[in-house]
Structures are given as structure tokens and as C-alpha cells.
Amino acid sequence: MIKTRLFAVTALSLAVLAGCGGSSSGDSAPPVVEPVPFSYVEATVSSLHTSLETGGVTCEEVIQGYIDRIHAYDDDGTETELRSVVNINPDALFEAREKDLNFEVTGIDGPLYCVPVLPKDNFNTKQMPTTGGAIAFQYNRPLEDAYTIRRLREAGAIVIGKANMDEFAFGFTGASSLRGLVKNAYDQSKGAGGSSSGTGTAIAASLAMVGTGSDTGGSIRVPSSLGGLVGIRPSLKLVSQDGIMPLASWQDTGGPMCRTVEDCALMMDAMVGFDDSPHANQRTSFEIDAPAMISEDEYNTITGVPDTYTDYLEADGLNGARIGVVRELFGSNETVNAVMDDALAAMEAAGATVEDVTVDDLSAILGDYSSMSSYEFQHDLVAYLNSWVNVMDGHIQTYQGLLDSGGYLPNYQSSLEYRGTIDLDNLTPEQQEVYSKNTVERPVFVRERLMRALDNVDDAGNSLGQPYDVLLYPTMTGLAGDLGGSPSAGSNNRLSPFSQFPALTLPAGMATNLDPAQPIGMEMLGREYAEPTLIKIAYGYQEQVHPRQPPTFTPEL
């Protein structure tokens, strides 16, 4: 069931509030509720619902307004276009009109009512193609929404379009053969990061209200950091992977990308849940051969998913929090480190305990292990392409068909060919050794050491002090790269996928010494299924510091 606790106030309650202190005469006119105007730039779910309830805007006006912003800033044919959106949902305005027609009866009947959502273009949407950024897949029309997209619709959201991305989710540059390079919303001479690059830029520029990304290594968190966004990579088994074009199912997960913590909490409410699909990848334990969960009760027992993540939106969430700072992950960039130090000082001032912590064997965690996308890509992609029949769309269903099509960036050809040489069902002894190291050995090795750091114990289990709620470090060790180049991301983003623990990035602050100023992100890593803790601390920081600043190049129309 979709959680519905955090709604905007209803029209009736607004009327009652407006009437407090008014005349008690039975003949008096009903109280007048003043319309609250809607502003597209930096809008939130709450501000949208308030404006809808008071008659300040209609759902159709909201959706049309965001479409107008996409046309104005994203595809106007000039050198400054952001290129973050690849498609606009042809049914979006129809869905908005339908909500308006029924509004007097239904009111706001879902926590994401009329919220324009922009999914990354590797999430299946039955109304639009799902391309993975590649011309080879430009006509792919899956017959059903991804599980998470269906859940977002059930919560009342309107899918406004699809976001550009690194082709096949291969990198951090934001390049696709379908739409080209995604530009950074803050500085259009810079890249947006990736691979959820289009989502990052579009949400940062207020071309939609919230979006989705997928994360194999850092593909939600890197573009969120560069876009001044809150991005959550959930615990691996929490969000169903059904209907998300895979890169490596051993590490893939979808998650929300938003401008505020509260909007991401609402997105999490909609995106989590038990899915009995064979492609859900919701296993009973972290082991790669663990059996699939078989029921909603089992899912709830294992994950401890709350009734609503909005219960953890506490303005004083930093008060009493214990934060372990992993200094070894800070790198040498003075701009990043200065913003991080200011953020840590603000956390302490708000009542948090901030202490340096050591992660044992950190260099081995980040240097001795690797992502398995090269090993799993061919196997998982072919399984995905065969998950719906190609009678209607004629889509490619074999890996050789993809290679033969030539419908991808030329510089990806050698990578595609190499991945095509690895047969996951028939690995060579050498390949099997590498695969086992990174799917059997790696999670045990990494989880044990991260848990020792979080629990604040030595390798013998002896206490070194009180446990920490989260580990904290810069999301990226450097800054945005030039357009077409990779950002200075570093390898901090590996901790979450290598352990399957959740991670949340949020703006630490702005690098005001740069022209134009750019956001700097900080990442918090928590214990498995500790998303509530991450949300609580992140919201506390957001409310104390208000670190996000919008880009200056995409103002109200």
C-alpha cells in the first residue's frame, strides 16, 4: 500500500483555518481562501499541494509550465541548451487535465499528487521508449512500467518525460548517442556527472520537481552532488530492479534525486516495497546466491521499512547525532575540503558529535575490488531485452544484434565488444576467480570493516567509544570536469555498492570561490536499512544550514 501520511492540507481544513475568529453568524459568507501562487523554480511537493488546494494553480498549468521550461532551457536549439531531457510524455497533459476534472471530488488523493517526475531513461515507461541513451534502443517500448514507476503513479505522480543519461550507464560524462552531452546546470561549460546526468541537471534546473536515477557505482550520487541535490542510493534489496535496464544486477539499484530531503522521503515511500517479479533482485541476505524473498511479510521483516520515511523529518535531527568522519576519503582539493569543514562545524553547532574515524583496510576496499559491470552486462542486458516480446516494437533482443546495429557512441565499441566476450554462464577459471572475489569475498570483507567503524570497535570487537550513526565524507574528492570529460569523483562512491549499505548525498554548501559558484556534496553512509537515520540527519542539516542554492541560468519564465 502506498503511504499517504504527509499530504498538503485539504481544502476543507484550509477553509476552517481561514474561518477561525470570524463571524459565528449562520448567514455569513463562507470564508475566502486566498490563492497561493505557484513558483516553478525550487518548487516542492508541499508548495505544489498548497497552491493546488487554494486555487493558485491547476495541475494542467503545473505540467504545462514544466514542459515550457524544458523547451526554453533544454532544447531551444542554442549552444546553451542543457540536453537533459530526451522525451516528453505525450499523455502528461491529459493526465493532468483528468486530475483537474476530478479535483472537487478527490482532492489531493496521493502523497505525490500531480508531482511531475522525470525518470532516467533506463526506467521502463509504457508511454515512452526506454533507450538507455542509445540510438540502438530508440524504439524500445516495454509493455509495462517498471515497478518503481508504477508505484510513483499510484502515489499520484505524473511522469513528465525521460532524462538523458550516460549511454548504457557506462560512465560519468553524461554522453549519449541519442541526445548528446548533458550540461551542468550551474556552469554550462562543465559536465553534469553521471550516469544519471540528465536527471541531475533537470532537477537542479527545475525542469521537473523530482526524478529517479540508477546507481551501480555512483550514478545517483555523483550527478546529485554536482546538481546540489539530495540523492539516495538505497540498501540494495530495498527497491525492486524490475523494469530498470541493468548494468550489473549484483550492484544496481534505483533511487530518488530531489532538491529537498522531504521530497526524497516521499519518493522513497513510493519506490520501496515487495515485488514478486523474478527481476526484483530482493534477496533474503547479502550473499549473491541467497534466495529471493517470497512475501510482503518477509520483506517487511527483513528490511524494517517504516510506515513512512517522513516520520524522520526532524528539524533537530542533528542534535545528539554521532557522526564518524572518514578523513582518509577527503582528498587534496582545498575548495571541497573547506566547504566540508564548514559543514562539519555547523553540525557540531547543531548538537552533533563529530569525530574522526578510521575504516580498517580502506585502501584494500577501494583498490583491491572492482565493479562487476563488465562481467554481468551482456548477461543482464539480454535478459532485460527478452523480458517483453518484440512483435510490436521489433526491438533488439541479442547482444550481437546490439553490436551489429552500430547504434551507440563510437568510443564505446571496444568496451561493448569486450563485455560481449564474457559469458557469465561459462566463465573461464581466471574469470571465475575474479568474479568470486568480487561477489563472494568482497561483501564480507567490506561489510565487516564498515560495521567496525560504525560500531566504533577494534578488530577484536573491543569498544573504542559510543557507536556512530553514520560515516561521512565528501561525495566527490574534486570538482565538475569540463564538458565531455569526467569529474574528479574519486572512489568514495564505491563504499555503498561494495557493502550494499545505503548512502545519501546532500549539499554541504556552495563553493563561492568559483565563478559561477558550484555546489559541493557530502555523502553519509549508514547501516543496512538505516535510510531513516540518513534522512533524519540530512533533514536536520538542511533545516539548520539551508545549503542548496539554485543555479542562476534557469530563472522563472
- What residues act catalytically? 120, 195, 219
Strand pairing class (503-511; 518-525): antiparallel
β strands within 38-115, DSSP E: 85-88
CB 235 within 8 A of CB 77: no
Residue type, 87: N
For 404, other C-beta atoms within 10 Å of its C-beta total 11
Q: Which residue has the cell 516528453?
A: 88
Burial of 390 (0-12, 13-18, 19+ CB in 10 A): middle
> What DSSP character marks residue 293?
P
Strand pairing class (322-325; 353-356): parallel
Query: In sequence order, what are the beta bridge partners of 211?
Result: 118, 257
Q: What is the dihedral of CA 258, 260, 265, 270, to 10 degrees?
A: -40
Backbone angles phi, psi at 94, to 5 degrees: -60, -45
Residue type, 138: Q
Residues 6+ apart with CB under 8 A from 328: 358, 359, 362
Strand pairing class (180-181; 175-176): antiparallel
Q: How far is CA 396 from CA 70, 86, 131, 246, 247, in A?
A: 30, 20, 11, 15, 17
Q: How far is it, in rounded angstroms, from Cα 241 to Cα 133?
A: 18
Q: What angle do CA 482, 488, 494 make, to 5 degrees?
A: 140
Backbone angles phi, psi at 364, to 5 degrees: -70, -40
